[in-house]
A and B are shown apart, each in its own frame.
Chain A
């Protein structure tokens, strides 16, 4: 832009306008327009079906009320998580059994063909087991969680969630639409990064990108659910166990949201300073969705997605881990060697070398963190057949796990750097190496700080 002849009449005009205007000019303008619209409608529109007219308004008065909005939202979240956990257990173990049964035959087939051991190792113990694990652990919860989510969305409830959350995001200096991109993040952070395009202002979009990672995605739900049910709800049985597990997972989600808001707030006061912009959120009328359609489509979409990811990401990673766990330098494997190097630092965070290594090797996809960890723990160098959750817990206990280890792993999983796909998307969307690095370093720093503090506080209080 070029400056015109000084003094610029446009600048003078702007200055005099600014001296006249006060903070709430926009509100006064908008409310005058709204009142005019209302008055015109009052004279020109009549409603012959009164009962239909206020349905949505009545529901909104409850769902978006200042008093009930949040309790209802939390209750819904709790119910969704509860159903997911309660419903996923049985199909998960059935799938695991099925895959184990198939594996027996695969092994027989390899033997019948006189295939070399290393080939059987890579293909069956590495590739097949890794993929089977991801599918059997991830598919059932996702096949329950996403249809419920889709139903809530199609009923029209999700926009109300955004409406409720808007107040929180605005007061932390972020854009209200960030709650929508956050909701996307429950499915997949990489997809959510793309969805931040709905936020116009670059500043607020960057906030949404940098904090999206703090909601657990597809790949991290199973880790959270599994560790919560193994360690946090250990003292309970039956329905209570599920309830406590759900409670722990939900507090993780809430903690993630609190971190999101806090980080947004700090950034909007420092590196990304500015005020939130206005936006209009359309609250569509509530309508009953085609229930079966929604369930079938969401289930199929998610199942295909999980399967595709299992094959494209988890399978190569499983092979790599198998190779690292089976190549010996001296008398230790490369995997063990790396884990030992990481151990002292990991101990400070209440983790151990293998856990940290699993997170590092899990960079391509969060789904494989637990499988890699198990492979590391088992000197066989291949993922065990996990026939029951209790043998799984025994493996952890044998490696010195306590509830604190589990808690720290959950916290680290919730807060650490985004997966490889997400980082690539962040680079594509921001076109900035600097911000991509920040989106890696910031969550990692927070994850390290939080787990370190948790460990120190628990030890200091002598809670263990």
Chain B
């Protein structure tokens, strides 16, 4: 089986949201697993095709945040920032939407190419939880697709949305979280410095926030990434020891 692909999709989400169910449903047996380079974190990627387009999907480790508290969070964060996926698919648990949204908001600060996928809709219905998907999409500024991965519901709509996003048919306008005035002032001071140092390659507002939070590991990663770019190594990921499952 050939694994050519034109587009890369990163799959992010909290633990226990059915992220892996969705990953397995989409990629089936076309999966590779290994470790992320230099980390003891499982790296899983899979391949699928839809409408004659070939996709590679990276199943990021399930995390509650992307603040580099752990190796898992660092891996997920680094891939979204440096792997530059064509789409980042954030899977949310419909029965715990409020808590799950925290991660989605963090991803939206990092990239605008996001599709939010609300999973476990069947379970939510049973518990009497109703989610206004259109309203949610309007609020977040990105497409929101309700699915139930277990029952294979909503999958086609999800694939079509992915398709339209990689074709550039979808304009997104991610929500901008407003922080307290003192933080906003600091961001305003820091953003020009960030742009001066790392250029416009990365989301400056987000980088500034991370720096204010004292995230040195991000800065190290940025620095290494620049070395890599100077040495013109073409791709970020994919040098894991992949083996066929």
Contacts and interface: CB of A to CB of B under 8 A. Distances in A.
Given A16-B190, A17-B211, A40-B136, A52 B224 contact: no
Given A20-B212, A21-B212, A280-B65, A33 B177 contact: yes
A44 B135 contact: yes
Given A17-B190, A21-B212, A29-B213, A41 B97 contact: yes
B150 interface: no
Interface in B100-118: 101-102, 105-106
Interface string A1-42: 110100001101110111011000110110011101110110
Nearest to A22: B182
A198 B22 CA distance: 25
Contacts of A34: 102
Nearest to A35: B177
Nearest to B194: A13
A36 B130 contact: no
Contacts of B97: 41, 44-45
A280 B65 CA distance: 9
Interface string B57-74: 000000011010111000
A382 to B, nearest CB: 49
A278 interface: yes
B130 A21 contact: no
Nearest to B187: A20
Contacts of A290: none
Contacts, number: 125
Contacts of B128: 47-49, 52-53
Contacts of A44: 97, 131-133, 135-136, 139
A279 interface: yes
B197 interface: yes
Contacts of A49: 127-128
A65 interface: no
B53 to A, nearest CB: 31
B203 to A, nearest CB: 15
Interface string A36-71: 111011011111110011000000000000000000
A277 interface: yes
B147 interface: no
B211 A37 contact: no
Interface of A: 1-2, 4, 9-10, 12-14, 16-18, 20-21, 25-26, 28-29, 32-34, 36-38, 40-41, 43-49, 52-53, 200, 277-280, 282
26 contacts: A10-B219, A16-B193, A20-B190, A21-B186, A29-B183, A29-B212, A32-B179, A33-B102, A34-B102, A36-B105, A36-B175, A36-B177, A37-B102, A41-B98, A43-B132, A43-B139, A45-B132, A46-B132, A47-B130, A48-B129, A48-B130, A49-B127, A200-B70, A277-B69, A278-B67, A282-B64
